[in-house]
Amino acid sequence: MAGSNPSPSTQLNLPDLLAEADIKTLLMVLVTFDHDERILDECQPYITGAWDYMENIPSYLREKIITRLADLLSDINAGKRPRTATPTAELLEKMMSTFVGQPIPSEYIPLTTQQFSFPLIPEARGKHSGIASRATKSDFKVVIIGAGMSGICAAIKLKEADIPFIIFEKNDAVGGTWYENTYPGAGVDTPNHIYSFSFEPNHDWSEYFAKRDEIFKYFEAVSEKYGLYQSIRFGANVTDAVYDDEHASWKVTAEFSDGTREVVEANAVLFGVGLLNRPSVPNLQGLEKFEGPVLHTAQWDSSVKWKGKRVGMIGTGASGMQVGPTIAPEVEHLTIFQRSPHWVTYNPNYHRRVTPGKEWALKNIPYYADWYRFQLFWATADSLHASLHVDPTWPYLDRSLNETNEKMRQALIASVESQIGDDPELLAKVIPTYPPYGKRMLRDNHWYRTLKRENVSLVTERIAELQAGAVITSDSQKHDIEVLVLATGFSVGQVLGPINVHGAHGIDLRSIWGEDDPRAYLGITVPNFPNLFIMAGPNTSPAHGGSAIFNAECQVNYIVQALQILATGEYSAVDVRKDVHDAYNERVDAQNAKMVWTHQGVNSWYKNRHGRVFASIPWRMVDYWSWTRKFEPGEYNLR
């Protein structure tokens, strides 16, 4: 994590180290200190996009940046210059826009100063954080359910706000999805330097997109650093959360593996159970007759032997895209059963390791890590949002949404063609008919190269049934399989999992949400469920990009303010007003209707059985960030 000791290479001098770092980010650091707009203007024509590889800055300019920055850093190290600098708001905006190759609206300035620890503009400092320290009642308590990314984030911020809590965690470790998902090749496809808490950056990632073990260790280390372990009850499977109207409190029941139960009474309950948590096992005819091992990606059993065997894999989503190419070289044959193809994008950083020079820059150069994080934020998030709106006048609405989306489609097709264009039959199977981003955009994990392997076949006929040692497809073909991998995703409709949740007057949450129609205000609060807060709730899943951690931090910022109202004893119950909740959800649906996720040609885990998009967030990150900065008591019934 950020506090670890820098390890400058003894082999390299400063300019050599800088030459390994990202030149655009170095440019930002330079201008942060010397405020020289001319070099920004000189570089601007050569910067074509936000990612670090989206530039062709000529060598004479690179040398100029590196030489000047090396001098500047030497001065800083020698104590001749301060380590901090404060550009004006106007300069910061110009720098940000030059950095990512497109204008950054000024509305992003408050977000960036809060999230990225930039050289702070004095007037922006602290202005947008709703949290201030307040005295807490001594007997106040919150139950957090889940010690995954959301629960850890919440616990840290509750601790900072002096709000007592305990965490019930069903596993025997923290980390949630990063603990449970151990399938070969499991990793993140959001860049790690943004897929980490903004308040706990990690400069030690070995790859730009780290693998599961490293991410799991990060969450373990953060939990340790913030002293969370003493507040976690492991192996505690929460079965019920019931609101007590009289005492304005929640009774939360957990079951342990030895059959014992514990009931904790708390003033508030915070669900951090994760949307992508409960594996979805498809209802395939004859599944019980398949005699070999069946491995769901989210419940991988490492004792099962799959090497050298005939393996079948159902599903080609984010999990399948990672496990398939990882196991293919070591199995006798891999048969991939694809129901519908996904769009897949190529990113040169996906398999790259972080070089020593880059790691050195992250750890040692002032503001480098903050600028780099901002770059990733912009590259992966809101820059795409506008292109995912439907243009009703666009003539090809069946396959794309608008001109930009069509160009993206053509570029993605060209990328696939460059890899498997010599096999028209395979090409036809893998090009989706729906617009890019209709389903979650995947990263090319050598996917097409894998499909071309001699020991891999891609089957697109529907699965008719399973028999002992075989999958039978609708064309009556028998595919001999020894081990079956289910890369079939998660049951997401029940956002709070199988937990029985009863609110005011005993209302059962399932009677409101049904099987798969969850709604909440800002994805966080539900009318008649006072003092209940949800993380990763309905319509909060980032789908145009970004990091789920960013949204989690937004939610925690909001929830802590609500809890403070309760913890100070000002009120005993906060319950979102139904009119506020309903109006918000109408806006969600109206906005989603304009977005790619509701496209008729797409089925995805974002949609429920009636086609309503209940999982993905239709807003820009900056919108969600600003709406969750300040808890508005006027939107709640307070008792």
Shortest distance (Å) from residue 496 CB to ligand NAP? 18
Secondary structure class of 80 (helix, strand, coil): coil
Binding region for ligand NAP (CB under 6 A) out of 1-9, 247-255, 312-320, 621-629: 312-320
155 vs 487, beta carbon nearer ligand NAP: 487
Q: Which of 169, 171, 139 is nearest to 265 (CA)?
A: 139
Instruction: Please answer whether residues 27 and 86 qualify as being in contact, where contact means their C-beta atoms are separated by less than 8 angstroms.
Output: no
Residue nearest to ligand NAP (CB): 317
CB-based burial, 507-532: b 16+ in 10 Å, e otherwise: bebeebbeebebbbbbbbbbbbbbbb
Among 605, 619, 625, 636, binds ligand NAP (CB under 6 A): 605
Q: Whole-angstrom Cα distance, residue 528 to residue 548?
A: 27
Shortest distance (Å) from residue 227 CB to ligand NAP? 28
Strand 470-473 relative to strand 463-467: parallel, antiparallel, unpaired?
Answer: antiparallel
Among 96, 153, 264, 276, binds ligand NAP (CB under 6 A): 276
Among 117, 340, 460, 500, binds ligand NAP (CB under 6 A): 340
Shortest distance (Å) from residue 315 CB to ligand NAP? 3
Binding region for ligand NAP (CB under 6 A) out of 367-375, 482-490, 512-520, 586-594: 482-490
Among 320, 324, 546, 618, binds ligand NAP (CB under 6 A): 320
35 vs 339, beta carbon nearer ligand NAP: 339
Under the criterion CB under 6 A, does residue 603 sit at the interface with ligand NAP?
yes
Q: Which of 620, 632, 630 is nearest to 107 (CA)?
A: 620
Give the largest Cα separation in the chain, rounded: 78
Under the criterion CB under 6 A, does residue 314 sit at the interface with ligand NAP?
yes
Q: Whole-angstrom Cα distance, residue 487 to residue 319?
A: 6
Under the criterion CB under 6 A, does residue 317 sit at the interface with ligand NAP?
yes
The footprint of ligand NAP on residues 461-480 (CB under 6 A) is: 463
Strand order in the sheet with 470-473: 463-467, 470-473, 478-480
Among 488, 491, 540, 564, binds ligand NAP (CB under 6 A): 488
Binding region for ligand NAP (CB under 6 A) out of 319-327, 447-455, 511-519, 549-557: 319-327
Instruction: Please answer whether residues 540 and 523 qualify as being in contact, where contact means their C-beta atoms are separated by less than 8 angstroms.
Output: yes
Among 316, 364, 491, 592, binds ligand NAP (CB under 6 A): 316
Under the criterion CB under 6 A, does residue 312 sit at the interface with ligand NAP?
no
Among 296, 440, 519, 612, binds ligand NAP (CB under 6 A): 440
Among 151, 357, 436, 489, binds ligand NAP (CB under 6 A): 489
Extended beta strands in 439-517, E state: 442-443, 456-459, 463-467, 470-473, 478-480, 483-486, 500-502
Under the criterion CB under 6 A, does residue 456 sit at the interface with ligand NAP?
no
Shortest distance (Å) from residue 317 CB to ligand NAP? 2
134 vs 339, beta carbon nearer ligand NAP: 339
Q: Whole-angstrom Cα distance, residue 436 to residue 425?
A: 21
Secondary structure class of 442 (helix, strand, coil): strand
Binding region for ligand NAP (CB under 6 A) out of 79-87, 199-207, 336-344, 629-637: 336-344
Q: Whole-angstrom Cα distance, residue 268 to residue 139?
A: 12
| Beta pairing partners, 268 | 142
28 vs 463, beta carbon nearer ligand NAP: 463
Among 315, 436, 497, 503, binds ligand NAP (CB under 6 A): 315
Residue 628 phi, psi (nearest 5): -100, 5
Shortest distance (Å) from residue 282 CB to ligand NAP? 3
Cα 262 from chain centroid (whole Å): 32
Among 180, 189, 359, 370, binds ligand NAP (CB under 6 A): 189
How far is residue 18 from each of residues 1, 66, 319, 447, 599, measured CA to CA in Å?
21, 6, 36, 34, 46
Among the residues of 403-477, which ranges form H helices? Answer: 403-420, 424-430, 447-451
Q: Which residues bind ligand NAP (CB under 6 A)?
A: 187-189, 276, 282, 297, 314-320, 322, 337, 339-340, 440, 463, 487-490, 603, 605
